């Protein structure tokens, strides 16, 4: 027999018991051919192109789920940053593009469409300005559209005008979606060193260096890693790393198979597989649970950053060999409300926003799905974004903020966003003001890339 019964049962129980799934197949679509000075004409072209290119994404994903017995949880689309198109608009709004994308996503059964984005690490163009001014409206009048803005990079430094503007937009989006606990902010990411081939929402967009259309795959397997570490107390670090690498290889390999086959069936080139561990609110599908199995009493205690660094590195080492092309954000995600274990650690007083920030130095991708008090001043939000961006800029990695200042809520309150976005405690933020610093204007200059200390 080609496989042993044990091997077959291992694969089956990874899905059935340990919640392994392909988190997303994301179809990237270049929208430059839709350019038009009339935003409504452009929106019509965008709708037509997205529906045409991604027409079969959902049916093919469903076929593959059956063929391999592996769930594909999300089917998504990413597009060229809409700010590229907005520069030509006579009317200074990009909201009709968001509406067209939302309509296309609903028509196709796509879960999320991302790329209502701008890249402003060094400066803000007219198109960027139009996009930034449209974000809050776009996120509130659509359901499935996600937005991201890149405000810094290791090459360019940090655009602090962009940081401050994004803090204002985060506040505005929260207020405008007050009836849904600021849900619009769950669809908005502020990046430093954003990548062009990320399949994960909300920060996905189709980079200008990509092809006409591309398929990227993101996997998810914290539950499988957790199961593998269940009886690991006797292992030393080398052995622990080996266990994680092997599991990571297997789950990434499944993503590779699904990506190759989807690419063949759709006739769209396979871009990358994101070597990721993406938690869900489901019990056991948690990065925090893995860290605690590694020997921490509670996630957030001293030692957490080291444990996460090792986990993140082992996941990549195992995954890289399994993937023909690795890319995207590649790393363990720590979205707070989406990870029930993280929420428990916060409620136990073990994990705070300062420790989370430290953790983002060694994993993917930043302060993600962090609910903060609704009355947090714009300046403090700008300070949080700037700190995260600085970590990314100096360490040559992607960092991000997906902050939700929940209107009317205080630290310790519990907010429920529903579904994969989960529920969790509102976290306390620092009380002292960085106002003078964040309002200085201009850019933090690009850092020195030598003398690494």
Partner 1 sequence: MNRKKEQVVITVLGANKPGILAGITRAIADSNVNVEDVSQKIMQDLFALMMMTDFSTANCSFEDFQSRMQTVAEQLRVKVFIQHEDVFRFQHRL
- Interface positions with partner 1 (CB under 8 A): 1-5, 7-12, 66-70, 250, 253-254, 256-257, 261
Nearer residue to partner 1 within complex by CB, 211 or 321: 321
Between 78 and 263, name the residue whose CB sits nearer to partner 1.
Answer: 263
Nearest residue to 179 (alpha-carbon basis) of 430, 423, 426, 407? 407
Minimum CB distance to partner 1 smaller for 111 or for 256? 256
Secondary structure of residue 362 in the 3-state scheme:
coil
Measured between alpha carbons, how far is 188 from 169 in angstroms, rounded to an integer?
9
Residue 246: how many CB atoms within 10 A of its CB?
Answer: 12
CB of 146 to partner 1, least distance (A): 30
Of 395, 329, 407, 394, which is closest to residue 368 (Cα–Cα)?
329
Which residue, 126 or 264, has its beta carbon nearer to partner 1?
A: 264
HSE-CB of 303 using CA atoms within 13 angstroms: 12
Partners of 403 in the beta sheet? 370
Residue 132 sits at φ, ψ, to 5 deg, of: -60, -45
Q: Which is nearer to partner 1, 8 or 32 (CB)?
A: 8
CB-nearer residue toward partner 1: 10 or 413:
10
H or E segment and range at residue 161: helix 160-176
Minimum gap (Å) between residue 227 Cβ and partner 1: 15
Q: Encoding tokens for residue 212? A: 């006409």
Strand partners, 118: 149
Tell me how far, at minimum, the Cβ of 108 lies from partner 1, in Å. 21
Token pair for residue 95? Answer: 């909201």
What is the Cα–Cα distance from 32 to 46, expressed in whole angstroms? 9
Rounded CA gap, 208 and 267, in Å? 20
**Cβ 210 to partner 1 shortest distance, Å:** 25
Tokens matching residue 436: 């003078």
For partner 1, the closer of residues 259 and 328 by Cβ is: 259
Alpha-carbon gap, residue 368 to 189, rounded angstroms: 8
Closest CB 303 distance from partner 1, rounded Å: 32
Contact criterion met (CB below 8 Å) for 54 and 262: no
- Residue 11 CB, shortest distance to partner 1, in Å, is 6
- Rounded least distance, CB 13 to partner 1, Å: 9
Nearer to partner 1, 18 or 387 (CB): 18
Q: What's the closest the beta carbon of residue 250 comes to partner 1, in angstroms?
A: 5
In whole angstroms, how close is the CB of 285 to partner 1 at the nearest point?
Answer: 19
- Which C-beta is closer to partner 1: that of 2 or that of 451? 2
Instruction: Kindly tell me the burial class for residue 332, based on how many C-beta atoms sit within 10 Å of its own C-beta (0-12, 13-18, 19 or more).
Output: buried
Instruction: Supply 272's token pair.
Output: 């990358």
Q: Which value, to the nearest 10 degrees, does the dihedral of the CA atoms of residues 333, 338, 340, 343 take?
A: 90
């Amino acid at each position: 027999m080609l496989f042993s019964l044990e091997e077959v049962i291992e694969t089956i129980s990874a899905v059935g018991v340990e919640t392994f799934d392909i988190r997303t197949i994301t179809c990237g679509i270049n929208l430059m051919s839709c350019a038009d000075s009339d935003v409504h004409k452009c929106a019509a072209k965008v709708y037509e192109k997205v529906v045409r290119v991604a027409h079969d994404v959902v049916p093919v994903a469903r076929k593959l789920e059956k063929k391999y017995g592996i769930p594909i949880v999300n089917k998504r689309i990413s597009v060229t940053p809409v700010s590229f198109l907005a520069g030509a608009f006579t009317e200074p709004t990009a909201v009709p593009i968001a509406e067209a994308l939302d309509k296309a996503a609903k028509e196709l059964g796509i879960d999320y469409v991302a790329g209502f984005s701008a890249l402003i690490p060094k400066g803000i163009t007219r198109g960027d300005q139009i996009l930034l001014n449209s974000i809050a409206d776009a996120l509130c009048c659509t359901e499935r559209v996600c937005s991201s803005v890149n405000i810094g990079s290791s090459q360019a430094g940090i655009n602090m005008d962009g940081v401050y503007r994004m803090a204002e937009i985060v506040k505005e989006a929260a207020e405008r979606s007050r009836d849904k606990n600021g849900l619009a902010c769950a669809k908005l990411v502020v990046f430093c060193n954003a990548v062009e081939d990320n399949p994960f929402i909300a920060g996905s967009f189709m980079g200008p260096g990509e092809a006409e259309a591309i398929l990227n795959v993101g996997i998810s397997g914290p539950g499988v890693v957790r199961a593998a570490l269940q009886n690991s107390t006797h292992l030393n670090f080398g052995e622990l790393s080996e266990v994680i690498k092997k599991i990571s290889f297997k789950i990434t390999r499944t993503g590779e198979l699904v990506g190759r086959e989807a690419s063949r069936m759709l006739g769209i080139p396979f871009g990358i597989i994101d070597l990721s561990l993406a938690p869900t609110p489901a019990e056991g599908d948690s990065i925090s649970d893995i860290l605690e199995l590694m020997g921490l009493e509670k996630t957030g205690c001293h030692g957490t950053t080291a444990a996460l660094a090792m986990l993140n590195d082992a996941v990549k080492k195992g995954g890289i060999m399994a993937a023909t092309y690795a890319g995207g954000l590649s790393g363990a995600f720590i979205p707070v409300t989406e990870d029930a274990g993280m929420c428990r650690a916060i409620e136990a007083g073990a994990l705070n926003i300062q420790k989370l920030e430290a953790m983002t130095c060694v994993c993917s991708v930043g302060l993600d799905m962090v609910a903060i008090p609704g009355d947090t001043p714009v300046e403090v939000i700008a300070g949080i974004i700037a700190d995260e961006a600085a970590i990314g800029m100096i360490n040559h990695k992607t960092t991000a903020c997906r902050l939700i200042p929940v209107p009317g809520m205080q630290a310790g309150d519990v907010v429920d966003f529903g579904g994969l976005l989960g529920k969790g405690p509102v976290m306390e933020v620092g009380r002292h003001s960085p106002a003078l610093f964040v309002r200085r204007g201009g850019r933090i200059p690009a850092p020195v890339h030598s003398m690494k200390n």
